[in-house]
Structure 1
Amino acid sequence: MKFSHFRDILAVAETGSLRAAGRHLGIAQPAITRSIREIEQELGVTLFERHAKGVRLTEMGQVFVRRAQAIQSEIRRAREEVEQMKGQAIGEVSIAVSTASSMSLMPSAVTTFRKRYPDVVLKITESFFQPVEADILSGRIDFYVGPLDQSNISSQFSVEKLFDNYRMVVARKGHNYGSARSLADLMDARWLRPALSDRSTEGDLEAAFERLGLPAPNIVVHARSALITLLTVANSDLLTILPQQWIEFPLTANLVEPLLLDEGVMTAAPMCIARRQDMPLTPVAEYLCDLMRRAGEHFMHRRDKAGGVAQIAPR
């Protein structure tokens, strides 16, 4: 089994056809076909099955590709780590961040990182943890920064808590409910439910109403995008619940504002860093991870100095 076998199979899996994989790699299609046949003979299984528009992975092929992606990522990391230890600031770092962490942590961390490593390619994916869990294990993403419920995390991950996280009821600037001081004042409101970090928290809004003996909130919009959430709430009379970071971020603070309710804030999953347990980061990726850690410390310091979330939404 050669590295070229992994390269060819991953190219075919990504492009969906032998011809497209050959063009992508700059290799003749017969060579790609021969490479796949060799590895299938060695493994004794079929990795691809043909269909009208190309090929697709078999169940065995999917298993093999997951491992091949991890091998390819680790080979790349090994090469980059050696070069970085030799003093050459090259390579790439790939991270996944939630919207809230990108607002509160990423600006300062990325600015400092780019100054030190201007030639390193930085790949940033906006996501919660669950959609990128497999990519972290395969090595396609170095680490994740965002809200995370640590109770259900596999031991394959190392998780470091940065700070506690909170969400608040939010409305557009100048909303009629701006003077509301209790959830009881919002019984006639219509709500937008944003995508949250963990499905176990999706009933928090309803639970808050239920604890007060109030009818369930009238949720009329479900949004799976941070941009759609912001634009919809800022341009309508809908209310929503958002992380504290949205209220403090200059670009969003000008569009929406928190309602200072007597019930206070809603606890959310804490902000964390998650990475593979069994594999160290490259020196460059470790540096960025440490910058995110420091940014988290600065965020906590600013919040504590300002009186915490209680100043934003007193109980």
Structure 2
Amino acid sequence: MKIPRLLDGRLKFRHLALVDALSRQGSVVSAAAELHVTQPAATRSLQELEDILGVPLYERGPRGVTPTVFGEAFTGHARAVLAQLAQAGRHVVELADADRGTVIVGTHLAGSNVLLPRAIAEIKRERPCLTVVVKEASPEALLLELEAGRVDFVVGRLTAPAAERTVRRKLYDESVELVVRAGHTLAGRDGVELADLADYPWILPGAETALRREIEEFFARHAMQLPMNRVETTSFLTVRQLLLETDVIAALPGLITRDDARIVRLGVPLDPIGHSVGLTLWAGRALGPSAEALIESLEATAAGMASQNP
């Protein structure tokens, strides 16, 4: 098989954007809608790209498209090119106006509610014209955003093992605690056991999260089933409001409860459930000045928080 000539002018950036969208959306219709083109135009672009490469990139089925081994490989390269171009454009703008710029940070529950707001507040005092864009999603979704360059880095819980082609920087360790509202019947009670919590409503993390799997293992070690009366969510706004207005029990990072006197921890330890909070970056990708500045603020903020959470 001859090596495709990808620099002869036939390969366009719309081809790269298309394979990125197709691999995420799983259908030509959805990818076309995301790219604001018609379905026939997206189909033609895919056919052009497969002709250029000389291999099928997707298997067509009644429910959409699935990347072939060639499609998976090429999508990774396409996302790397798109990410570098996006970063290059923003880097030039920041060099032209050092006081401005944009940093896009991805986050999930363990990093979004204490560490990140404090770090943003600190950097905005120094650089008020810096735009900080925060994207909240599951860790798995954020890794795709990171790979494609749609976020500069991710801040939140560091789950093991690290994804391929990523670099992680630990900022601090944090415990996970069972919490309720301050007026809850269990608040302040001594000698509370896990079995005493079975009849209360619970909030659990989504099934796709590492914390959910750890909680399931915790219940299994105590020979108990997960509560039947439960809400499953990773939205902290939803968790907080339900905690304040109902008798739910939730598992949350410890620092969150220390910032709100309306939420108190129960004396039921979740050991060994805990986690490291830190940064996830894409290996080998240079960051712009704005992203580096926010990372410095996060590191300084985390150092102060670590002293509060020995």
Q: TM-score, normalised by structure 1?
A: 0.74
1:274 aligns to 2:283 (yes or no): no
1:93 aligns to 2:106 (yes or no): no
Contact 1:81 1:282 in 2 (8 A): yes
Q: What does residue range 131-146 of structure 1 map to in structure 2 within 5 Å?
A: 131-146=141-156
Aligned-residue sequence identity (percent) comes to 22
Aligned partner of residue 175 in structure 1, secondary structure: coil
What corresponds to 1:64 in structure 2?
A: 74
What corresponds to 1:163 in structure 2?
A: 172
What corresponds to 2:133 in structure 1?
A: 123
Cα 1:91–1:31 shift into 2, 3 Å:
farther
Contact 2:180 2:265 in 1 (8 A): yes
The farther-off stretch of 66-75 and 87-96 is: 87-96
Cα 1:291–1:18 shift into 2, 3 Å:
closer
Aligned partner of residue 183 in structure 1, secondary structure: coil
| Matched residues, number | 292
Contact 2:204 2:232 in 1 (8 A): yes
Whole-Å separation in 2 of the counterparts to 1:52 and 1:286: 45
What corresponds to 2:12 in structure 1?
A: 5
Q: What does residue range 192-207 of structure 1 map to in structure 2 within 5 Å?
A: 192-195=202-205, 197-203=210-216, 205-206=218-219
What corresponds to 1:235 in structure 2?
A: 245
Whole-Å separation in 1 of the counterparts to 2:218 and 2:268: 15
Q: 2:296 aligns with which of 285, 290, 300?
A: 290
Contact 1:5 1:36 in 2 (8 A): no
Cα 1:186–1:171 shift into 2, 3 Å:
farther
Report the Cα offset of residue 272 of structure 1: 1.4
Report the Cα offset of residue 44 of structure 1: 0.7
Contact 1:170 1:240 in 2 (8 A): yes
Deviations along 1:259-300, whole A, 9 cap, x unmatched? Answer: 2x2758764111111112222322211111111111111212
Whole-Å separation in 1 of the counterparts to 2:34 and 2:173: 49
Counterpart of 1:280, as a letter, is: A
Contact 2:84 2:149 in 1 (8 A): yes
Q: 1:257 aligns with which of 256, 264, 269?
A: 264
- Give unmatched runs, 5+ long, in structure 1: 309-315
Contact 1:158 1:274 in 2 (8 A): yes
Q: 2:89 aligns with which of 79, 85, 94?
A: 79
Aligned partner of residue 147 in structure 1, secondary structure: strand
- Give unmatched runs, 5+ long, in structure 2: 1-5
Whole-Å separation in 1 of the counterparts to 2:39 and 2:11: 14
Aligned partner of residue 174 in structure 1, secondary structure: coil
What corresponds to 2:3 in structure 1?
A: none
Whole-Å separation in 1 of the counterparts to 2:224 and 2:300: 43
Cα 1:185–1:4 shift into 2, 3 Å:
closer
1:105 aligns to 2:115 (yes or no): yes
Contact 2:17 2:82 in 1 (8 A): no
Q: CA RMSD in A?
A: 3.9
What corresponds to 1:299 in structure 2?
A: 305
Counterpart of 1:166, as a letter, is: S
Q: 2:162 aligns with which of 148, 153, 160?
A: 153
